[in-house]
Amino acid sequence: MSYLLGVVLFALAILISVSLHEAGHMLTAKAFGMKVTRYFVGFGPTLWSFRRGETEYGIKGIPLGGFCKIVGMTPQDDDVEPGDEKRAMWRYPVWKRTIVMSAGSITHFALALVALWIIAVSVGLPNPKFPTTEAGYRAEPAVIAPVPCVTVDKVRACQPGDPASPAEKAQLKEGDRITAVNGKPVSTWGDMLDVVRATPPGAVTVTYLRDGTSQDARVDLAAVQRPPLGDPEGATSPVSALGVVLSPTTPTRVEYGPVAAFGATADFTGNMAVQTAQAMQRIPQKVPALWDAITGGERDVDTPISVVGASRLGGEAVENNAWLVFFMLFVSLNFFIGVFNLLPLLPLDGGHIAIAWFERARSWLYARIGRSDPGRVDYLKLMPFTYAVILIGGAFTLLTVTADVINPITLFSR
């Protein structure tokens, strides 16, 4: 029951976010004097509506988004009534149209930032001094925690048949600090990774500190395939593995006061922006992995997910009382939608913004070279490109939804 509740709650959170996205368009358009005729939550048949002024507000039967209708978004639109010509959106200055079209993404960013600020002052954000990738571990002491197994081909959850952790077999314990491997001294986690990976598989002597006492253990390093440190998408190569992770001796989260939380939120958002850009760049190369997951292969946790997959993860988070995971999923999804919607492609808002500024730049250039203004872009001529984007986006959405139904990503064992 708690799982289903989490799925519903996360789906509702997404619906509210999208509805606020459209409200951002509507409110900014109204503020500039543009005519907004409809604002609805959902699609399909109308369940309930009312009219206030010149705008109809309501709820439709399919809760998969929302929309608002701004009159005259393009010069080719035929929805401008006599007397409303001056209020057509395309007639407004480019900066006003940019604000209106970007208001949806700004709303998503605002939701993410507010949620992050609340998280920062309540339970804390990830400690910036605590490493989150192997490359970032280099300054941390090599204080280890053995894992149950090593996976030979890739980093994933343990499965039946995976060899036991060499460190666990050698009776190393959480909190042991590695100081040398085969006589080669190591002082940080990064040093330890470098030395272990460069050491041939098989028996080695691991020197460690336990309760202040130096001890030696005979460990049989496992042979595994791993990508380069700091490049999880790189080509794998044979290396040795000890079967440990970094012990959380440094607090993983830091709580902030109300004022300091603003700076911490900004820093975290900057890192999230970089990670989002990198994730979007990897989308094309993840398509084969999605298809492999649909046709019976293992689901890569780094593959894209749909709203269905995100809602399922939200359900898992609630089921396991991991509300922080739930809200961080909400933050990540809003940030991703905000960035994605600004891509300069029709029919996305970013496509309309790009065309508006292209028109402005072209008019400025023609005026400088003494030629007449070529006027507005003909959206009808761009329809083939728009349909291509819709087709590709629809196919990708269908692919991710299918993968999330047939072979979903899971964060917790159920």
Tens-digit pLDDT profile for residues 73-84 = 888 888 888 888
22 belongs to the catalytic site: yes
Domain definitions of the chain by residue range: 134-246
CATH number (2.30.42.10, 3.20.20.370, 3.40.228.10, 1.20.120.420) of 134-246 reads 2.30.42.10
Residue 228 has pLDDT above 90, yes or no: no
**What pLDDT is stored for residue 132 in this prediction?**
44
Residue 253 has pLDDT above 80, yes or no: no
Q: Band of the pLDDT at 236, cuts 50, 70, 90?
A: confident
Whether the CB-CB separation of 276 and 259 falls below 8 Å is answered with no
**What pLDDT is stored for residue 353 in this prediction?**
95
**What pLDDT is stored for residue 272 in this prediction?**
85
**What pLDDT is stored for residue 138 in this prediction?**
47
Whether the CB-CB separation of 301 and 293 falls below 8 Å is answered with no
Q: Rounded CA gap, 69 and 80, in Å?
A: 12
Percent pLDDT > 70 in the chain is 92
Alpha-carbon torsion angle 106, 112, 118, 123, nearest 10: -160
pLDDT per position as a tens digit, 152-167 = 766 667 777 778 888 8
Q: Which has more confidence, 156 or 22?
A: 22
pTM of the shown model: 0.73
Q: Looking at the chain, how many residues does it have?
A: 414
**What pLDDT is stored for residue 192 in this prediction?**
86
SS3 186: coil
Whether the CB-CB separation of 412 and 321 falls below 8 Å is answered with no
Q: Which of 25-29, 260-264, 272-276, 405-409 has the highest mean pLDDT?
A: 25-29
Q: What is the mean pLDDT of residues 185-190?
A: 83
SS3 1: coil
**What pLDDT is stored for residue 69 in this prediction?**
93
Specify the DSSP class assigned to residue 138: G
The number of helix segments (H) and strand segments (E) in the chain equals: 9, 11
> In 357-396, which positions are buried (b, 16+ CB within 10 angstroms) versus exposed (e)?
eebeeebeeeeeeeeeeeebbebeeeeeebeebeeeeeeb
**What pLDDT is stored for residue 91 in this prediction?**
92
Whether the CB-CB separation of 148 and 164 falls below 8 Å is answered with yes
pLDDT per position as a tens digit, 292-303 = 888 888 787 778
Percent pLDDT > 90 in the chain is 38
Range of weakest confidence among 36-40, 139-143, 309-313: 139-143
Residue 262 has pLDDT above 90, yes or no: yes
Of 115, 132, 413, the C-alpha closest to 253 is: 132
Residue 135 has pLDDT above 50, yes or no: no
**What pLDDT is stored for residue 147 in this prediction?**
85
Of 86, 42, 44, the C-alpha closest to 63 is: 42
Of 178, 199, 203, the C-alpha closest to 190 is: 178
